[in-house]
A = this chain, B = another copy of it.
């Protein structure tokens, strides 16, 4: 019953096997290897467009590098006030941007609306008091497990463009969001106005595979130098290239993400059916955010379940946890089994039943 994060499992057997096979013999270093190069070709097919791709070691690096490509040191990058780039990367975006400023926008469930964006821009004071707004970074899915529909993305990027902003998508759980929407990769990215994407494989079946992908290729100028300068250019890049190649092949990513999402939906349905438990946000990817009594959370942990509590700042105020309640985050992965989901639900259900009985 480990639901802490999708980064606590290794690679899928198929991805691991790709590492093993790619290990043999000599290969060009710093990306001049066949795996990286085939992946690049495959990626253009995947997204159905020309693009520039740069493999890196961590999602933090991918996001921070992408941020630096759309926001100069003297600029401001808008993002959700509780986004991962704002709150969980220990200042990496600011470091990679060279001092650029992250500015937080509000939004239920981590989603930024065109209205919120327009309102922020309208309230800018003018003059040189604030860094000029240069970019917008959104997450698909968000820190609260929600996804933007292609139409929502389009409306938001149209507004961003109107204000002169380039748009980055943090796709740490890109494949979960894509499976959830059932649209094409193109529809969720460049066709919806995304300029740069951080594509994450690590949370969905790879051991370490992250990429910065430029749909607006003009932003990729000098980027190979910029990546090298950040210590993100692996000498034996085949390690990443091979994982990503296997991950893309035969829709392996989809299979992995679909399973993780299904496990989350199963968990969500089970928990939502328990009186006294409700969902903070709908379950759209591989994360479930139940609002539950603190005593239930304590009980689940005592029974061996592992998961984190979570922020309620970006909830609809009317939905927020009461004084004895807490929001929890449960993350599923390609390794999650129906059995452990069901066991978690059963423990929760039993506890709440007994509690009600005791109260009567």
Residues of A within 8 A of B (CB): 2, 5, 7-11, 16, 19-20, 22-30, 56-62, 64-65, 72-76, 87-92, 94-102, 127-132, 202-203, 207-208, 222, 224-236, 238-239, 335
Contact = CB atoms under 8 A, between A and B. Distances in A.
A127 B4 CA distance: 15
A5 B29 contact: yes
A128 B72 contact: no
20 contacts: A8-B26, A9-B25, A9-B26, A10-B23, A10-B24, A16-B19, A58-B232, A62-B231, A74-B225, A75-B225, A88-B130, A90-B130, A90-B228, A91-B99, A92-B228, A98-B98, A128-B225, A132-B222, A202-B236, A208-B236
A229 B29 contact: no
A62 B231 CA distance: 8
Contact of A202 (B16, B203, B208, B235): B235
Nearest to A8: B26
Contacts of A101: 91, 94, 102
A73 B57 contact: no
Given A7-B235, A90-B129, 19 more contacts: A2-B26, A10-B22, A10-B24, A19-B19, A30-B128, A58-B233, A60-B228, A60-B231, A61-B232, A74-B226, A75-B225, A76-B91, A89-B229, A90-B128, A90-B228, A92-B231, A101-B102, A128-B233, A132-B225
Contact of A91 (B131, B224, B233): B131
Copies of this chain assembled into the complex: 4
Given A16-B20, A25-B9, A94-B101, A72 B222 contact: yes
A235 B202 CA distance: 8
A8 B236 CA distance: 7
B229 A131 contact: yes
A91 B244 CA distance: 28
Contact of A29 (B7, B11, B62, B234): B7
B8 A231 contact: no
A242 to B, nearest CB: 10
Nearest to A333: B26
B90 A225 contact: yes
A71 to B, nearest CB: 11
A8 B27 contact: yes
B96 A100 contact: no
By Cβ-Cβ distance, the 10 closest A-B pairs, closest first, are A61-B231, A10-B23, A7-B235, A57-B57, A98-B98, A90-B228, A128-B228, A60-B231, A91-B131, A88-B129
